[in-house]
Amino acid sequence: MPESDGLLFQYGTYVFDGPLTFTLFEIVDSGGAYDHYVQVHCELRYEPVLALEDLGAFDAWFFHGTGEDLDEWAARLAERPVWEALRPFGPVEARVYRERV
């Protein structure tokens, strides 16, 4: 897979974080050389109710430059059953943060 920005859509019931999505960005120095990566998280956390636990866990990556179409990737995610399962519940917490990796 080429070096490029990646997107990860992920959900599941986890002890450490709960359902989350995040993107991975590469940071370069002024000469264009790799400096470090930054992971940007956008997490929506829900109570671990049975209807959500029954969804199990899922993740899907997207990387630019692989030939996959971003709109098609997003459309497949929009068809996932998680959206209907989440409809009756509101998140108990939303977090957006970044970390150097």
What is d(CA 39, CA 100) in angstroms, rounded to the nearest whole number?
6
Q: What is the pLDDT along the chain (101 residues), one digit of tens a residue?
A: 446 678 888 888 876 554 443 333 445 456 666 666 777 888 888 888 889 889 888 888 888 888 899 999 999 999 999 999 989 988 888 888 888 77
Chain mean pLDDT for the chain = 78
Task: Copy the structure tokens of residue 30.
Answer: 């002024």
- Contact indicator for 70, 62 with CB cutoff of 8 Å: yes
Q: What is the pLDDT of residues 3-31, one digit of tens each?
A: 667 888 888 887 655 444 333 344 545 66
What is d(CA 97, CA 4) in angstroms, rounded to the nearest whole number?
20
Q: How far is CA 55 from the centre of its chain?
A: 16
Model pLDDT, residue 78 = 93
Domain ranges of the chain: 6-100
Task: Copy the structure tokens of residue 10.
Answer: 């992920």
What is d(CA 43, CA 48) in angstroms, rounded to the nearest whole number?
14
Which residue in this structure is represented by tokens 């209907």?
84
Measured CA angle at 67 (ends 66, 73), to 5 deg: 95
Give the predicted TM-score (pTM) of the model: 0.72
